[in-house]
Amino acid sequence: MYKREETKPVFVGGVQIGGQKSVVIQSMTTADTRDVEKTLAEIQRLHDVGCQIVRLAVINEDAARAIKKIKERSPLPLVADIHFDHKLALIALESGIDKIRINPGNIGSKEKTKRVVEACRERNVPIRIGVNSGSVEKRLLEKYGYPSPEAIVESAMDHVEILEDLNYDNIVISLKSSDVPTMIQTYSLMAQKRNYPLHVGVTEAGTQFSGSIKSAVGIGTVLSMGIGDTIRVSLTADPVEEIKVAKQILRSLDIVNNDPVVIACPSCGRCAIDLIGLATKVEDAISTLKVPLKVAVMGCAVNGPGEAREADVGVAGGNGEGLIFRNGEIVRKVKETELFEELMKEINEMVGEQKPT
Ligand code: SF4
């Protein structure tokens, strides 16, 4: 039984992470943050497919200042991704950033760290400590021999303790590794140390195909242990794909059930319609809907009608034709060339009925 570990609630703009709320999906823009229009266009696309928080790379002062303009029109809360430079953190905070990703142990002096923490405290802005296998300190690599789960957790704890010494607990932690078993063990170890919300991901997961699978296995396993409050699927692909994969992971574990889902058979020698084409087209057409809806796309009359009846809307293919189902009943028989349009007609009608008035 899937049971989530209790974590401390943290607020990123209006979005709650932790405290038993549902798992939040996030991504990162690929545009240069100084290009306000391009960044906003990317944020809008991410928002439209279901992203809830977006991170921006802040590489210099111009990028930190651009946050002000992006923030004015962004439909999503923003996270500034900053490495080392406390000045960038302070400018990002003045620009209205909702969360900062920075490792306090890398800021430099205690004084600089204090200034960042105080500016975050004033604005109730959380700090995400982000450690990954590639950023583990030399000292810990020598102690553990390689970026082991223990080394990654110890590195993260060093940063956590810096913030705790400053009496700051508005914290989110990520501990990523590109190695799935390491990442799973690392999150499991960290969950035993503190109850700060955990940002879960497999770092440098890879291209769309391999990265999606690695992420699904890694993130899915961690979530199924009841660990994790926000997820980011990292793909070498359009970030919109990251959101689609993240949503599918959450749906597969029944963590969210407010999105449509397509059930499709793998097709076999009994199938007499272009099932792969139809299922792909349907999945694409309903990917931006925000209603719980089960759509079955089945290839034949053997197993097809059973699944199609179980779904809200469904189709079971026949010889150059197909049966359309709605709420378990056959509503009509149509030609193969009309299957997509007829199925979409039913879906759109159902969506209309489900929308709040
Ligand atoms: Fe084959 Fe029919 Fe099963 Fe699809 S539903 S896999 S076509 S038997």
Give Rg (Cα) of the chain.
23
Looking at ligand 1, which residue's alpha carbon is closest to its atom 2? 300
**C-alpha 220 to ligand 1 mean position (Å):** 28
In terms of residue numbers, what domain contains 215? 10-252
Ramachandran area for residue 106 (φ above 0: left; ψ -120 to 50: alpha; else beta): alpha
The CATH number of whichever domain residue 265 belongs to comes to 3.30.413.10
The number of domains in the chain is 2
pLDDT at residue number 211: 95
pLDDT of residue 3: 66
Distance 272 CA to ligand 1 centre (A): 10
Q: Which residues pair with 57 in a beta bridge?
A: 81
Q: What is the pLDDT of residue 221?
A: 97
**Of 338, 342, 341, nearest in space to 325 by CA:** 342
300 assigned to a ligand binding site: yes
Same domain flag for 173 and 310: no
Are residues 73 and 208 part of one domain?
yes
Q: Are residues 229 and 335 in the same domain?
A: no
pLDDT of residue 2: 58
Around 163, how many Cα atoms within 13 Å sit in the side-chain half-sphere? 25
- Distance from C-alpha of 85 to C-alpha of 90, rounded to nearest angstrom: 9
Question: Measured on CA atoms in the order 29, 59, 53, 39, is the torsion positive or negative?
Answer: negative
In a domain, 266, yes or no: yes
Percent of the chain at pLDDT above 70? 97
Other CB atoms closer than 10 Å to residue 357's CB: what's the count?
A: 2
Q: Which residues contact 312 (CB under 8 A, 6 or more apart)?
A: 293, 294, 295, 326, 327, 350
Q: Which pLDDT does position 339 carry in this prediction? A: 95
* Cα torsion angle, 130, 135, 141, 145, sign: positive
Provide the CB-side half-sphere exposure for 41 (13 A, CA): 7
185 lies in the same domain as 243: yes
This prediction has a pTM of: 0.89
Helices (H), 192-234: 208-224
| ipTM here | 0.98
Question: Tell me, what CATH number does 41's domain have?
Answer: 3.20.20.20
51 is in an annotated binding site: no
Q: Are residues 219 and 302 in the same domain?
A: no
Please give the pLDDT value at position 290.
Answer: 81
Pair (52, 195) in one structural domain: yes
pLDDT tens for each residue of 116-160:
999 999 999 999 999 988 889 999 999 999 999 999 999 999 999
Is 41 near ligand 1, meaning CB less than 6 Å away? Answer: no
pLDDT for residue 308: 77
Does 102 have pLDDT greater than 90? yes
Tokens at residue 330, please?
A: 């056959």
| Together in a domain, 53 and 151 | yes
Regarding whether 228 and 287 lie in a shared domain, the answer is no
Strands of the sheet with 293-298, listed across from one edge? 260-264, 293-298, 313-317, 321-326, 329-335
What percentage of the chain has pLDDT greater than the value 90? 77
265 has binding-site annotation: yes
- Strands (E) located in 137-266: 171-176, 198-200, 230-232, 260-264
pLDDT at 226: 93
State the Cα–Cα distance between residues 164 and 161, nearest whole angstrom. 5
pLDDT in tens, 253-283: 988 877 888 999 999 988 889 999 999 999 9
C-alpha 46/C-alpha 98 separation (Å) is 17
Q: With H, G, I as helix, E, B as strand and everything else as coil, classify residue 284.
A: helix
Tell me: the pLDDT tens digits for 37-54?
999 999 999 999 999 999
> pLDDT-derived band of residue 100, with 50, 70 and 90 as boundaries?
very high
Neighbours of 183 (CB within 10 A): 29
Q: What is the pLDDT of residue 1?
A: 45
Residue 316: CB within 6 Å of ligand 1?
no
Q: Whose CA is nearest to atom 3 of ligand 1?
A: 303
The stretch 77-99 carries a mean pLDDT of 97
Residue nearest to atom 6 of ligand 1 (CA): 267
Which pLDDT does position 305 carry in this prediction? 78
352 has a pLDDT exceeding 80: yes
Position 357 pLDDT exceeds 50: no
Asked if the model's pLDDT at residue 162 lies above 90, the reply is yes
pLDDT band at 303 (very low <50, low <70, confident <90, very high): confident
151 domain-assigned: yes
Q: What is the pLDDT of residues 175-229, one digit of tens each?
A: 989 999 999 999 999 999 999 999 999 998 889 999 999 999 999 999 999 999 9
Residue (of 209, 222, 215) closest to 246 by Cα position: 215
